[in-house]
Structure 1
Amino acid sequence: MTDEFASLNHFNGARDTPMPQDRLRAIRHGAEALREQLLDDPPVHFARSFDLLRIPYPAWFAFTGVYSQQLLKPHMVHLLARMAVVQYDDFEGRLRTLLFTPADFEAGNETPYFKRLAEKTPKFLHKAIAPVYNTVPQALASCGISPAQVDYITYDHLHTQDLRRWLGTPGLLPNARLLVHRQELASVRGLLPVQAEWYCPHGLDGIAAERIVPFDGSIQLGRGLALVHTPGHTEGNHSLVYRTGDGLRVSSENGVSADSWAPLSSRHDGIRRYAKATGAEVILNGNTQEGSTDQYLSMVLERTLAGTSSSHGFSNVVPSAECSPHWLFPGAPTSHLWGETSFGTPLHA
């Protein structure tokens, strides 16, 4: 572990006990303690999310369990993929800029699952089905941050990601380094076929070793900003956690809507009925079930850590790819739409 970051030990051993309910209690306890610790920190300087593009996505992946019980009608939903720009002080007081999920969606189209989907769809429909709203350079320019000012990029996991445009030689982010959980990095280098469906081939090829910073467990990057290991969707999945003026925000793709972390509060009858019938506290995004039990625990961790919003009553977990209404795929189960969010003012080095 680099000295730039601090290890967070709140979840050490929490998943080691044989009984899942014991793991759940340990996860809750750790999340409550970490929440209090991060709430004592000052807010980050700036955090803003940007719509990048829409992705057609099967409903039975997006709301695992609910669809299989025939409680959801849409065959497909739309996920709106976003990038977050976060500026914060590291532990030595230096201003840092981090990009969370900066997608190179043109290169990402080589992901096997989406490549086959595109081949089955008439080309004249591609822009309608997967419209683009922003690119990463456009998002940075809109808040006056130069590509050279970006210190780190990170992803909750590396599904569909090709990093060569950002970190290659030459790359558009000349000073940025990738923060990635060590297990996620190991997975990418030796995928099984069921995993490879969702990873972009050669996405890390040719990137210099010094541009990649692996980490273990959960880490705090600076005042009010952490990356928390939340395995399940992938073994190396992690969630972004940052302090704002009114509490904490957590972001990941373990779920795809506000309903995913609060199904009993859902305005969608099928989701609410499923949660009541099964006792499920969360609804998994299950396109790859590398560890469904771990993913369930991780989503409970996320919602405990984030807390509940006093304004809309849902958990302060913001999906990094959010299920959102679209005319092509009506009936998306979305009780609260986060949309683009913004906090603070960007700072320029």
Structure 2
Amino acid sequence: MTRDPEPTGFAQLAHFDGTRTAAVPQDRLRAIRRGAEAMREQLLDAPPVRYARSFDLLRIPYPAWFAFTGLYSQQLLKPHMVHLLARTTLVQYDDFEGRLRTLLFTPADFEAGNETPYFKRLGEQTPKFLHKTIAPVYRTVPQALASCGVSPEQVDYITYDHLHTQDVRRWLGSTGIPGLLPNAKLLVHRQELASVQGLLPLQADWYCPHGLDGVPLERIVAFDGSIQLGRGVALVHTPGHTEGNHSLVYRTADGLRVSSENGVSADSWSPLQSRHNGIRRHAQATGAEVILNGNTQEGSNDQYLSMVLEKTLAGTSATHGFSNVVPSSECSPHWLFPGAPTSHLWGETCFGTPTCA
């Protein structure tokens, strides 16, 4: 199910080619399950990545009716707002020629990201003296790298599941200004790159204006479909939340991990196992396998299929009984927004030992 490597050194993955073309939605679902099961077996045959660690960056206030789409309208959730804990994940792995590569997944520049229209309005409506209380910052991306001894020069690639709120100019540089990650390239799905060239108003509210302006073209690598970057690590196209959305998959010593923002908590991919009555009863009543993160519903059916893909690919943890899909922005309790519907908290995760410069 793997095509010949692309000129970049990546391998194109064909497991999901044609799986969304059937007229009957249930046929699409069955095809995607089969593709995810086959990919899971292939990646489990690969060696674990050398190192994978996630770092807490900051908290973001977020409407509950976005975080758990469908439940708030049925009055199954009490909080109006929840807190999402945004993280970045560092992965070190061997490419297909055995060279060490370093990938940063969702490295947010939250200062520049504040220009995102939705959050800019929210900030203007909130007294400035409350900003650090409502949206506390735990560390920056450079601080995260320094904490594990990885230098900025070691980072080969950065990537985001999608480009909501992201401004990459600080990392990659822009016209006349060098970036803080001098050797890094942005890996982005070709459809996501196309979307940001001409957004509709409902999309534009969540994208940071000018986030790619002036970035040298040679620092941007667009890809199609799903790709394997090296041994035990892949980017899988999971459209729906945005058309160009993709998810990070990496092999660890105990299985596979998928990192995604299609959902915001362990409950999102395992609603029947939820300890929150509203979520569990919703899944029992409707048969829904997943609960969507729906701030922009570019394609709800596709997002549903993508979340089933993710949970099938990741498998279920023998330790806590939830899917091994880790939200890249995780709903987590906070005194300002009590009652967060989260049955299992992933927190920061770490596997292996880093290779430092």
Q: Normalising TM by the smaller chain, what interval?
A: over 0.9
Report 1:279-294 matches (<5 A): 279-294=287-302
Identity across aligned pairs (percent)?
85
**Equivalent-residue separation in structure 2 for 1:268 and 1:115 (angstroms):** 32
SS in 2 for 1:118: helix
Which of 195, 199, 202 is residue 191 of structure 1 equivalent to? Answer: 199
**Equivalent-residue separation in structure 1 for 2:137 and 2:160 (angstroms):** 19
2:136 match: 131
User: What CA RMSD, in Å, does the superposition of the two structures yield over aligned residues?
Assistant: 0.5
What stretches of structure 1 of length at least 5 have no aligned partner?
A: none
2:3 match: none
Aligned-pair CA distance for 1:82: 0.1
Which of 307, 324, 337 is residue 315 of structure 2 equivalent to? Answer: 307
Cα deviation 1:193-221 (Å, max 9, x = unaligned):
11000000000000000000000000000
Is 1:324–2:332 an aligned residue pair? yes
1:38 match: 43
2:240 match: 232
Cα deviation 1:70-122 (Å, max 9, x = unaligned):
00000000000000000000000000000000000000000000000010011
**Equivalent-residue separation in structure 1 for 2:235 and 2:350 (angstroms):** 19
1:116 match: 121
**Equivalent-residue separation in structure 1 for 2:108 and 2:294 (angstroms):** 21
**Equivalent-residue separation in structure 2 for 1:318 and 1:2 (angstroms):** 31
Aligned-pair CA distance for 1:66: 1.0
Is 1:90–2:98 an aligned residue pair? no
Report 1:99-110 matches (<5 A): 99-110=104-115
Is 1:274–2:282 an aligned residue pair? yes
**Equivalent-residue separation in structure 2 for 1:271 and 1:227 (angstroms):** 29
Is 1:24–2:29 an aligned residue pair? yes
Aligned-pair CA distance for 1:67: 1.0
**Equivalent-residue separation in structure 1 for 2:89 and 2:65 (angstroms):** 27
**Equivalent-residue separation in structure 1 for 2:197 and 2:151 (angstroms):** 31
**Equivalent-residue separation in structure 1 for 2:155 and 2:322 (angstroms):** 32
SS in 2 for 1:137: helix
Report 1:134-283 matches (<5 A): 134-168=139-173, 169-283=177-291
Aligned-pair CA distance for 1:48: 0.2
- How many residue pairs match? The answer is 349
**Equivalent-residue separation in structure 2 for 1:144 and 1:265 (angstroms):** 38
SS in 2 for 1:334: coil
SS in 2 for 1:49: strand
SS in 1 for 2:285: helix
Letter in 1 for 2:77: L
SS in 2 for 1:255: coil
Letter in 1 for 2:53: R
SS in 2 for 1:117: helix
Which of 4, 9, 14 is residue 9 of structure 2 equivalent to? Answer: 4
Letter in 2 for 1:336: H
SS in 2 for 1:267: coil
TM-score w.r.t. the length of structure 1 is 0.99
**Equivalent-residue separation in structure 2 for 1:71 and 1:201 (angstroms):** 35
**Equivalent-residue separation in structure 1 for 2:114 and 2:356 (angstroms):** 33
**Equivalent-residue separation in structure 2 for 1:264 and 1:174 (angstroms):** 45
**Equivalent-residue separation in structure 2 for 1:127 and 1:348 (angstroms):** 33
**Equivalent-residue separation in structure 1 for 2:285 and 2:356 (angstroms):** 52
